[in-house]
Structure 1
């Protein structure tokens, strides 16, 4: 069995207040009677069941799987505190509606009325059949549970050799011109593992610049991480041949490592970043 709570409340807040008069709507009579005694609702038993927290609708409304942790009855209202099962991804009402007979929600009205129902369905069995498992998380490095992108942060992935110092300064100047700050991973020492510092920097960045000059394998690896995380990536190179074959369909900024060439690179980068940020 599971509890279905269909109410237009802010479930993500972890708290809700709902009217007692909506209890056991769309619930089979024999099921509702299991949770009543002398006319009173047996909430202590009821909240041991898993819960599906939904908003009204049959479109892209978000639904959560979790449990009721605490409750308090005040007059004709029920105040509840809830938590979510972190192993179950967020659901959408489109999925529930498409499979409404599997979750014993055959009536369209049930998606458009605030109510608390109890369904004689194994909720987790339904989820196993219909929800794709979460993507396996990396083991080489850790990713934060939630993104925390710094809107003015630009990170640069390039060889740390001294011959690239002037190029990095040109990139830094381009960022500063449009009010952004620029960092390289070798400027950071926050974690025992270097790769964790690199990944954390990429993950926080609004824009990631990758200089492919010299076909440095570290830069290629870091570009792959940035693309996987969905970051805006700008590729640079002194030679088109240094751009990996799999990335040659993407535009890149060619540059010449001279005073004039670096000045042009700085100007082009500033224009490119402005376009990305919508300035």
Structure 2
């Protein structure tokens, strides 16, 4: 999924324009409600999504270019919501006509380009960028496996390669399975010559990424950065909140103790969070 912001270059959207042109299933995920009326907007679910920001087309009063990034500081205001858009420096600006040409792949209707609104689309934005628009600055040390399919029930687990984490992984796996999903970590598979390629494949294919930051493992931090860049829903866990670096402290995390009782609590926490993410 991704946020589509059209005409919202000043960082504010009216409440009646939020979730316009959004299909019911996605609307229910972002703003759950028992009936037809929209429920309270789950702001954290908007923050986790990659974002495409562009002006309304057909006007000359501002540059006709789109930017890709993410939103932060989403707050309710008197008339709607305010937000801050943070562009992704790894992705060049995109002329609006190129977005219009890829409208079908991005699930953007013709009328949307001429109406200020915030939609949430059930489309992998980065996959479209790679395959349809090619606006991304390509990584130099690896390549994303863009030909591999997205697996909606797959959870990728990123954690230190250490035997001491095996019981932790088993607890996570129990939580994932309780939520009706399945999980893998890189050492569960050996499909490529380089371990990083297997890690990239897991993150690319996964619906959700779980990252154990315990011990401040630099490999796990690197993998979290990749997951966030790709817009994957990410669950952070740690045995100590001191293991979470400053740049990630604004994201909620599950703290656990590495004993029987603590791992049981981790299993329940993982299952609960996954059910929230998937809307189960």
What TM-score results when the alignment is normalised by the length of structure 1?
A: 0.53
Query: Which residue of structure 1 lines up, in the alignment, with residue 251 of structure 2?
Result: 250
Query: Which residue of structure 2 lines up, in the alignment, with residue 190 of structure 1?
Result: 191
Distance, in Å, in 1 between the alignment partners of 2:235 and 2:172 is 11
SS in 1 for 2:209: strand
- Structure index of larger Rg: 1
Residue 231 of structure 1 and its aligned partner are, at CA, apart by 0.3
- 1:89-114 Cα offsets, whole Å, 9 max, x none, are 94417x9xxxxxxxxxxxxxxxxxxx
Residue 173 of structure 1 and its aligned partner are, at CA, apart by 0.4
Residue 215 of structure 1 and its aligned partner are, at CA, apart by 0.2
SS in 2 for 1:236: strand
Distance, in Å, in 1 between the alignment partners of 2:205 and 2:261 is 32
Query: Which residue of structure 2 lines up, in the alignment, with residue 175 of structure 1?
Result: 176
Distance, in Å, in 2 between the alignment partners of 1:271 and 1:160 is 26
Distance, in Å, in 2 between the alignment partners of 1:91 and 1:227 is 23
Query: Which residue of structure 1 lines up, in the alignment, with residue 270 of structure 2?
Result: 269
Query: Which residue of structure 1 lines up, in the alignment, with residue 155 of structure 2?
Result: 154
What TM-score results when the alignment is normalised by the length of structure 2?
A: 0.53
Query: Which residue of structure 1 lines up, in the alignment, with residue 233 of structure 2?
Result: 232
Distance, in Å, in 1 between the alignment partners of 2:200 and 2:232 is 12
Residue 147 of structure 1 and its aligned partner are, at CA, apart by 6.6
Distance, in Å, in 1 between the alignment partners of 2:158 and 2:151 is 17
What is the correspondence of 1:103-182 to structure 2 with a 5 Å cutoff? 134-145=135-146, 148-182=149-183
Distance, in Å, in 1 between the alignment partners of 2:168 and 2:263 is 6
Contact 2:145–2:200 (8 Å) recurs in 1: no
Q: Residues 266 and 133 of structure 1: is their aligned pair in 2 closer, same or farther, counting only changes over 3 Å?
A: closer
Distance, in Å, in 1 between the alignment partners of 2:216 and 2:146 is 32
**Unmatched runs of 5 consecutive residues or more in structure 1:** 1-57, 60-87, 96-131
**Unmatched runs of 5 consecutive residues or more in structure 2:** 1-56, 59-94, 104-132
Query: Which residue of structure 1 lines up, in the alignment, with residue 30 of structure 2?
Result: none
Query: Which residue of structure 2 lines up, in the alignment, with residue 111 of structure 1?
Result: none
Distance, in Å, in 2 between the alignment partners of 1:161 and 1:235 is 18
Query: Which residue of structure 2 lines up, in the alignment, with residue 92 of structure 1?
Result: 100
Residue 203 of structure 1 and its aligned partner are, at CA, apart by 0.6
Query: Which residue of structure 1 lines up, in the alignment, with residue 210 of structure 2?
Result: 209
CA RMSD of aligned residues (A): 2.5
Residue 146 of structure 1 and its aligned partner are, at CA, apart by 5.5
Distance, in Å, in 2 between the alignment partners of 1:259 and 1:144 is 38
Higher relative contact order (CA 8 A, sep 6+): 2
Residue 133 of structure 1 and its aligned partner are, at CA, apart by 7.6
Residue 140 of structure 1 and its aligned partner are, at CA, apart by 1.4
